[in-house]
Amino acid sequence: MMKLASIFQEVHKAVTEKVTKLNRLETRLLMAEDAADCLTLHCGDSGFIWRIDEFNNKFNDAKNGVNPVLYSPPFTAQGYRLALGLCPYGDGRGAKGKYMSVFFAILRGHNDELQSWPFRCPVVFSLLGQTVLDHVDDLVSTFVPDVSRGDNVGFLDRPTTRRNRMLGLRQFVAHKDIRKENFLKDDVIYIRVQVLELRPQGETET
């Protein structure tokens, strides 16, 4: 029995060491992915700008049921690791065939233990105009997470797997508005996402 206990302790120690090494490797991978994303995308502390090329082909593919969802690379905003999903042809009743839908997902990050959960930050989505420098013509919609709804638990809580389910705006931008010249130019559109800092209740901006 003593010999079996000793063998069990050795096996347990070896498994624990392997798990620790895997966790360290995953953390390094997440950090490397974030660094690579910032080399190819406009990143900042509160969000990023996603450039989508060959939009007409991707719109038609989505319309025909091929690749109905486009996924952005991961990015970090307000300390949370996120990714976007865009449905060019729309998603769900009332949106499909009429609106472009946009969503976000919370990904497991390397500093999740420092973040506040559930996720409560307002998320601002913008379809950027390409002819006005101050972006006064941007189409902007804000998504405010509702943590009181029980069915949002799988979307807004700290991820226990690689990523949570997606949540967002089904009726983001009407198809007829996307075709305006200043939003779709050279077959390219730009989606900007900004994650706003969550202020404590009662605190006002000075």
Is the pLDDT at 19 greater than 90, yes or no?
Answer: no
What integer pLDDT is reported at residue 1 of this predicted model? 57
Q: Quick one: 34 and 51 in the same domain?
A: no
Q: Quick one: 14 and 86 in the same domain?
A: no
Give the residue numbers spanning the domain of 20: 1-40
Q: Quick one: 29 and 56 in the same domain?
A: no
Of the candidates 170, 172, 63, the residue with the CA atom closest to the CA atom of residue 127: 172
What integer pLDDT is reported at residue 204 of this predicted model? 46
Is the pLDDT at 34 greater than 60, yes or no?
Answer: no
How does DSSP classify residue 119?
Answer: -
User: How does residue 41 score in pLDDT terms, banded at 50, 70 and 90?
Assistant: low
Give tens-digit pLDDT for 76-115.
999 999 999 999 999 999 999 999 999 999 999 989 999 9
Q: Quick one: 188 and 125 in the same domain?
A: yes
User: How does residue 37 score in pLDDT terms, banded at 50, 70 and 90?
Assistant: very low
What separation in angstroms does the CA of 181 have from each of 23, 137, 175? 48, 12, 13
Give the tokens for residue 74. 């991961």
Question: Is it true that the peptide bond before 118 is cis, omega within 30 degrees of 0?
Answer: yes
User: Which segment of 49-63, 82-96, 121-135 scores lowest on mean pLDDT?
Assistant: 121-135
Number of Cβ within a 10 Å radius of residue 88: 26
What integer pLDDT is reported at residue 155 of this predicted model? 94
Cβ distance 155 to 124 under 8 Å? no
What integer pLDDT is reported at residue 88 of this predicted model? 98
User: How does residue 10 score in pLDDT terms, banded at 50, 70 and 90?
Assistant: confident
CA–CA dist 39, 165 (Å, integer)? 26
| Whole-structure pTM value | 0.75
CATH code where residue 122 lies: 2.60.210.10
Percent residues over pLDDT 70 in the chain: 73
